[in-house]
């Protein structure tokens, strides 16, 4: 076999392998309910190709679409992605302006597909500080998908975990002062209910791409018992293969939550 047919056979054979893999993962009892991803490496991906950083983010948007589709297909219930941190405002003005438009670009292109696939969209972060057009696009997506009950795509946008924790503490202090809450009622469960994830819960699996091994102010409270999986692959290159590998590794982990 050579030339065209060899290539044809190879590409079709690998598609079959992936389908088998997807089926075996889907049939496993251990699907992480909540997967969180720190989508890192867009800038380096662009630099390697002598492209502007924005080109990396644009490619990253496509990877997010593919990953959302696959997560939904294998039965993940929630996918939380770190799309813009409260620290990202420090980036050059042009890049920030593009990232503020990223939800619009993503939703303009993919919202009909997300609706069709029964995906529900949520935004987690300080939305008040966002430009009007960004907020409007996200609010529309949330409204248009509010009755969907497939995968919840939770976009962490203008999100910072320390700010989230401080906000929760302020609200608890306020509720204690005004008599809505008794001091003795403060517990881990109550604290969690004051966080932005009160309706979502903690991630089971955290993926970070691009070889960086840190949390970068992402879901510090919620990741206490999460399984971590890191890859050197840059986010725009992150494919079905890596996502399924992360899920398979998760399926082999033994979660003990501090017990035996």
**Total interface residues for ligand FPP by CB under 6 A:** 20
Helix (H) or strand (E) holding 115: helix 93-116
Which positions from 66 through 125 interact with ligand FPP, judged by CB under 6 A? 83, 88, 99, 102-103, 106
Q: Which of 114, 119, 124, 155 is the binder for ligand FPP (CB under 6 A)? A: 155
Q: Is 39 in the site for ligand FPP (CB under 6 A)?
A: yes
Q: Which is nearer to ligand FPP, 168 or 209 (CB)?
A: 209
Residue in this structure with the two tokens 């206490």, named with its chain if needed? 224
Of 31 and 153, which CB lies nearer to ligand FPP in the complex structure? 153
DSSP string, 181-226: S-GGG--HHHHHHTSTTTTT---SEEEE-TT----TTSSTTTTTT-
> Minimum distance from CB of 85 to ligand FPP (Å)?
7
- When binding is defined by CB under 6 A, the residue of 37, 54, 61, 130 that contacts ligand FPP is 61
Beta strands, E only, 89-204: 120-124, 152-159
Write out the binding residues: 40-45, 53, 57, 85-87, 89, 91, 208, 214-216, 227
**And the tokens for 13?**
């054979």
Burial 49-73 (b: 16+ CB within 10 A, else e): eeeebbbbbbbbbebbeebbbbbbe
Q: Pick the binder of ligand FPP from 25, 55, 60, 98 (CB under 6 A).
A: 60
Considering only residues 217 to 256 of the shown chain, the ones binding ligand FPP according to CB under 6 A are 235
Residue 249 · residue 207 · CB < 8 Å = no
Q: Determine the Cα–Cα distance for residues 72 and 88; give it in Å rounded to an integer.
A: 28
| Binding segment toward ligand FPP, per CB under 6 A, in 56-64, 143-151, 188-196, 215-223 | 56-64
Residue 86 DSSP SS3: coil
Contact pick of 18, 21, 22, 44 for ligand FPP (by CB under 6 A): 44
Q: Which residues bind ligand FPP (CB under 6 A)?
A: 39-44, 57, 60-61, 64, 83, 88, 99, 102-103, 106, 155, 157, 210, 235
């Amino acid at each position: 076999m050579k030339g065209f047919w060899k290539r044809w056979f190879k590409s079709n054979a690998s598609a079959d392998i992936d389908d088998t893999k997807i089926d075996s993962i889907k049939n496993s009892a251990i699907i992480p309910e909540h997967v969180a991803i720190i989508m890192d490496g867009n800038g380096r991906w662009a630099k390697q190709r002598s492209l502007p950083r924005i080109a990396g983010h644009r490619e990253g948007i496509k990877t997010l679409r593919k990953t959302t589709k696959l997560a939904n297909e294998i039965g993940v219930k929630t996918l939380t992605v770190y799309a813009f941190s409260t620290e990202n405002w420090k980036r050059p003005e042009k890049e920030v302006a593009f990232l503020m438009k990223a939800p619009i670009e993503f939703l303009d292109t993919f919202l009909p597909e997300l609706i069709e696939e029964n995906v529900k969209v949520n935004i987690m972060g300080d939305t008040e500080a966002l430009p009007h057009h960004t907020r409007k696009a996200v609010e529309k997506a949330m409204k248009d998908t509010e009755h969907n009950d497939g995968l919840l795509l939770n976009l962490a946008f203008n999100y910072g975990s320390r700010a989230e924790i401080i906000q929760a503490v302020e609200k608890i202090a306020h509720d204690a002062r005004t008599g809505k809450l008794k001091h003795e009622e403060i517990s881990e469960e109550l604290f969690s209910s004051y966080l932005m994830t009160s309706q979502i819960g903690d991630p089971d699996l955290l993926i970070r791409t691009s070889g960086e091994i840190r949390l970068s102010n992402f879901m510090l409270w919620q990741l206490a018992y999460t399984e971590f999986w890191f890859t050197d692959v840059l986010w725009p290159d992150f494919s079905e293969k890596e996502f399924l590998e992360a899920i398979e590794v998760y399926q082999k982990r033994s979660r003990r939550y501090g017990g035996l």
